[in-house]
Amino acid sequence: MTHAANRSRSLGMLRDQLGVVVVLVILVAAVGIAQPNFLRTSNLLSTVQGSVYVGLMAAGMVFALAMREVDLSVGGTYALTVVVGAVLIRDGFSPWVAMLVILALAALLGAGNGVVTTYLQLPSFIVTLASSLLFRGVALAMANGKQISGLPQDHPFFAVLGGNVAGVPASIWILLIATVVLAVLFAKTRFGARVRAVGSNPDAARFSGLPIARTRILALGLSGLMAGVAGVLGLAFYTAGDPTIGGGYELTAIAACIIGGTPLAGGRGSVPGAVIGNLILSTVAASLVFFQVPINWTTFATGAVILIAVAFDSVLRRRGFSWFRRQNSGRTE
């Protein structure tokens, strides 16, 4: 790839993230002006911490969407891993062992979705919708439809992963680390390039000999793994296994990805953009509490903000593209 092409892709990534950053800053400032208590450090940290679980799912979902796939099972995976971890700890296993089991299980479940999608040639939408129901059904059966409590909350697992580090919830630090790692994986590695190539033009990728099946399985496996990381942090924070947890998280994660610059058409994406997009949705939800908006209007308000954010981001990107095209008119690669 030439220097000009690299520069074009880098500027494109910056444009993808500029819109959501501007929207987030304006949103936080507007709410803070109307409700100064919203800007308290404790409230901002609480809002970000509440966004961690979906944020991790959105970061993994970028890889699936960039391949023109979709993973509707992350919410079910999240619920199942929380329940499995709680059952293992309740039955005497070390929480650290339970954590490893959770992560391995989540990655296998995601990869299993990829295997079924690839080798049975079924749409990932249908496969992951079905597996989400399966995972939730297993979680409900394992928990007998009840919350699993009575876990040893004094164990370091809960104190470390469910506590604070340097005054900031550990889950936020983990989200930041995961965002950096996955952003590099998506933008700077051969695997990320394959994901983008398959999403851009599957036929061309097939003719060029790219391992499409393996790439799809790994991408969906990564999506499942990130739901498992969310499950570990959810178990550590809530210190219980709730089989009903995570309902609707998959749709919120997809919305966050789209807001953050990852289109359903595939071929490109932004891990930081997806995480910031989810922060926008979390900020909206938190601000509604301060404005005492009736719960019946919460979903309506969130949907309206999604439309406004996507439209605003789209306008910024079109203007940025026009500027870039003017700046580079007449140049050759």
Between CA 5 and CA 1 the distance in angstroms is 6
Q: Please tell me the predicted confidence (pLDDT) of residue 263.
A: 82
- Report all structural domains of the chain as residue ranges with CATH numbers, in order of start: 3-327 (1.10.3470)
Between CA 146 and CA 18 the distance in angstroms is 44
pLDDT digits (tens, 9 = 90+) for 205-256: 888 888 999 999 999 999 999 999 999 999 999 999 999 998 889 989 998 9
CA Rg value for the chain: 20
- Token reading at 82: 């929380």
Q: Stretch 67-83: mean pLDDT, rounded?
A: 95
Using an 8 Å Cβ cutoff, are 78 and 246 in contact? Answer: yes
Q: For residue 145, with 0-12 CB atoms within 10 Å meaning exposed, 13-18 middle and 19 or more buried, which class applies? A: exposed
Q: Please tell me the predicted confidence (pLDDT) of residue 1.
A: 46
Identity of the residue numbered 297: W
How far from chain centre, in Å, is Cα 263? 14
Compare 299 and 312 and report the one with higher pLDDT: 299
Is 324's pLDDT higher than 50? no
Name the band, by pLDDT with cuts 50, 70 and 90, for residue 22.
confident
pLDDT digits (tens, 9 = 90+) for 139-168: 999 999 899 988 998 899 999 999 999 999
Q: What is the DSSP letter of 262?
A: -
Q: Stretch 23-31: mean pLDDT, rounded?
A: 90
Residues 161-176 as b or e (16 or more Cβ within 10 Å = b): bbeeeeeebbbbebbe
Give the orientation angle of helix 170-188 with respect to helix 212-238, to 10 degrees. 170
Is 323's pLDDT higher than 70? no
Q: Please tell me the predicted confidence (pLDDT) of residue 18.
A: 75
Q: Please tell me the predicted confidence (pLDDT) of residue 332.
A: 44
Q: Stretch 84-109: mean pLDDT, rounded?
A: 96
Is 182's pLDDT higher than 50? yes
Residue appearing with tokens 């496969």: 127
Is 4's pLDDT higher than 70? no
Q: Please tell me the predicted confidence (pLDDT) of residue 313.
A: 58
Q: Please tell me the predicted confidence (pLDDT) of residue 9.
A: 55
H or E stretch covering 169: strand 168-169
* Paired residues of 168 in beta bridges: 165
Q: Please tell me the predicted confidence (pLDDT) of residue 139.
A: 95
Is 333's pLDDT higher than 50? no
